[in-house]
Amino acid sequence: MKKPLIAPSLLSADFANLQRDVEMINNSKADWFHVDVMDGVFVPNISFGFPVIKAVKKHAKKPLDVHLMIADADNYLQEFKNAGADILTVHYEACTHLHRTIHAIKALGMQAGVAINPHTPVSFLEDIICDVDLVLVMSVNPGFGGQKFIANTFYKVATLNQMISTEKSKAKIEVDGGVDLKNCKRLVEEGADILVAGNTVFGSENPAMTIEQLQNCI
């Protein structure tokens, strides 16, 4: 089994010491920074805006994996590119013209991802699976960190893995929400390529060691 990429979620970082936490990720074995953007419309919470993303990008030495939990994402694609996003993921449930949005993201030079909420069937992605660089499977309801992992995610990851293989897609599978040292091994076994971890990393006494443990969960 291949080691998963680890993307610590800055939503769980200490906002009063954000540069310190960014440096910790830089110096750890983490692969990406995961940045959750919420608008209080698509999800019941508000998080990072462009100034914070730009500030993180200034210090980050690893790619910014930006997850948009917002309505009307099309209006802001260029701004996220300008702010420093390397990977930009939009929600299936929030995009009226998903194919057009995905290709607009790619045209700006970013990798393009699609995220699905816990209630959205994997089968809905069949017509877009060959166009995306990654699929983000939400294993909690989006909006807040620290929620309990939804066990049906294992089945969804396995189903998605099968679809990717059948359709000969190059999409990676990312899982976000409640990922910890107890469920990471099975997620990778079912086909997950990227694990997003927030509270598990930042709530740990030794975040850098926890990142390494997640990476070695195979």
DSSP letters, 63-116, are -EEEEEE-S-GGGGHHHHHHHT-SEEEEEGGG-TTHHHHHHHHHHTT-EEEEEE
Which residue is catalytic, options 21, 31, 133, 176? Answer: 176
Q: Is 36 known to be catalytic?
A: yes
Which residue is catalytic, options 36, 65, 133, 193? Answer: 36
Report, as residue numbers or ranges, the catalytic residues.
36, 176
